[in-house]
Amino acid sequence: MVGDIRKVSAMMKRILAIDDNPLVLELIGEALGEEFQVDTAETGAEGMEKCDSFAPDLVLLDVGLPDANGLDLVETIQTKSMVIVMTANSSVEGAVEAMRKGAFHYLTKPTPVDALRSLVRRASEVVELRRQNKELRRRVTQQFGEDAIIGKSRAMQAVFETVEMVAESSSTVLIQGDTGTGKELIALAIHQGGTTPEGPFIKVNCAALPSELLESELFGHEKGAFTGADRRMIGKFEAADGGSILLDEISEIASSLQAKLLRVLQEREFYRIGGTNVVRPRCRVIATTNRPLKQEVERGAFREDLYYRLNVVPIVVPALRNRPSDIPLLIDHFLRRFNGDMGKNVELTEDVIAYLTELPWRGNVRELENFIERAVVMSRNNLVSLANSLIPEEEPSIEELPFKVGMTVREAERTLILRTLDETDWNRTKAAEILGISIRTLRNKLHDYREEDASLVPPPGERR
């Protein structure tokens, strides 16, 4: 009977057929019922309910449902289940559009039973292969991954759940969080958990380059496009074809580039600088920022339409100070890593771990990691206690900074900026976050300071 789940082995893949024609559903049930668990729905609304309750591995979806937009359903369902769309001969274009939105394949109605079985079997094999790959990656990362994302707190578990749900889709992801919270690791986990983990994972630091260089870096250029363009250069979007591109610190991208990036996200196409041929990259876009992007929109520094294109799946990575229960786990993880690397057996006393758990860790996980590495390197014995000079102290208060009556605001600002850069080992990203300014603003101020004082040279290891 239509709508009944056919009771077969629990190992069989679950198939949900959504079509407003009961005869079509009956045919699908008879054709697939011996090999698969089959359930059916006659409306889009019923189908969406059963996507939650039945949790199908594969959905056969009629894109011409009277109560729902089939293309919208494809976009929603494909984040959890593989989709094969069914269409009348006259609407093949709609089926092709559905595949652009994430459908695995399409069938035209009426469909020969053999063709239906063949395609569903092939899709089922792909589903199983993805499941096996996902499990293998999980086990390998759990056992061997040095850069595993650590966290048992409720906040981090919510992040893990979102990563798992979004990984196998092609949706754009916006990861927000303070510097040092592990945004890049989250992005890498999404890429590795997706359907093309073997594809390229291309990272672009949007804050590291001026806008004119960043445009060429992202989109490439043709020979002769500008002075110095003596050969064609492939941009990062093209290099990421078949994989993922990470746009790090997206809030720093200039307004002139925001419009071009919006076109890429909307149309999935662009032109190289100086080019006339359309380039259509097939890659997932992941963006990160350490600034509240919604606030950047409200103050007019970031395009609202681009924000919504990026914010399809938002992930907010909590600061370490907001998940203190994870600190002992991270300490243990980093101790095992650095002890193994250096052939040592350094441990921290319980009171040290308790003390470290109470610190604010403004540099987040990265700061904690650096401290543990330093403790392992510098420890003269195998035990670090509170009496040890390696233990970090609270940062100095503003009274300890060399401000004095008679200084101009500009001089005080210069002093504060340079002192902050010293405290962060000239890590511009971290310094800008502490100062509450953009990296672009910090870069411009440093340029001004160097014009005033040519002796102002950053350390060789200056980080951007």
Residue 445: give its domain's CATH number.
1.10.10.60
Q: Which residues face 315 on adjacent strands?
A: 175
CA distance linking residue 92 with residue 96, whole number of Å: 6
pLDDT tens-digit profile of 43-61?
999 999 999 998 899 999 9
The residue assigned the tokens 């420890």 is: 379
In a shared domain, residues 173 and 314: yes
In a shared domain, residues 187 and 268: yes
**Is residue 312 within 8 Å of residue 171, measured between CB atoms?**
yes
Respond yes or no on whether the N-terminal peptide bond of residue 110 is cis (omega within 30° of 0): yes
Give which of 461, 321, 290 is closest to 394, Cα–Cα: 321
Q: Which of 13-22, 52-61, 196-205, 402-411 has the lowest mean pLDDT?
A: 402-411
| Domain stop point among 303, 318, 333 | 318
149 within some domain: no
158 within some domain: no
SS3 91: helix
In a shared domain, residues 330 and 430: no
Residue 224: give its domain's CATH number.
3.40.50.300
In a shared domain, residues 188 and 301: yes
Residue 20: give its domain's CATH number.
3.40.50.2300
How far is CA 282 from its chain centroid? 16
91 within some domain: yes
pLDDT tens-digit profile of 60-106?
999 889 898 888 899 889 888 999 999 876 666 777 788 878 888 88
154 within some domain: no
In a shared domain, residues 328 and 379: yes
In a shared domain, residues 75 and 23: yes
DSSP-assigned states of every residue in 47-66: HHHHHHHT--SEEEEETT-T
pLDDT tens-digit profile of 120-171?
988 888 787 667 655 645 554 544 344 557 888 888 889 988 998 998 888 9
Residue 342: give its domain's CATH number.
1.10.8.60
In a shared domain, residues 254 and 365: no
**Is residue 70 within 8 Å of residue 85, measured between CB atoms?**
yes
pLDDT tens-digit profile of 349-400?
888 888 899 888 888 998 899 899 998 988 888 888 776 656 665 554 444 5
In a shared domain, residues 197 and 308: yes
Pairing assessment for the beta strands 270-271 and 278-279 based on DSSP bridges: antiparallel
Which H or E run contains 14?
Answer: strand 14-18
In a shared domain, residues 353 and 411: no
In a shared domain, residues 57 and 45: yes
156 within some domain: no
Q: Give the chain's domain count.
A: 4
In a shared domain, residues 306 and 328: no
| Domain stop point among 318, 333, 348 | 318
| Total Cβ atoms within 10 A of residue 120 | 24
Report the predicted TM-score, pTM, of the whole model to 2 decimal places: 0.57
CA distance linking residue 120 with residue 7, whole number of Å: 18
Q: What is the pLDDT of residue 22?
A: 93
| Domain stop point among 106, 131, 156 | 131
Q: Could you tell me which residues come within 8 angstroms of residue 180 by beta carbon, excluding any fewer than 6 positions away?
A: 320, 363, 364, 365, 366, 367, 430
Which H or E run contains 328?
Answer: helix 327-342
| pLDDT exceeds cutoff 60 at 204 | yes
Whole domain around residue 441: which residue ranges? 398-452
Degrees, nearest 5: CA angle 436-437-443: 145
Rg over alpha carbons for the chain, rounded to the nearest Å, is: 27
Number of residues written out for the chain: 464
In a shared domain, residues 298 and 434: no
107 within some domain: yes
41 within some domain: yes
143 within some domain: no
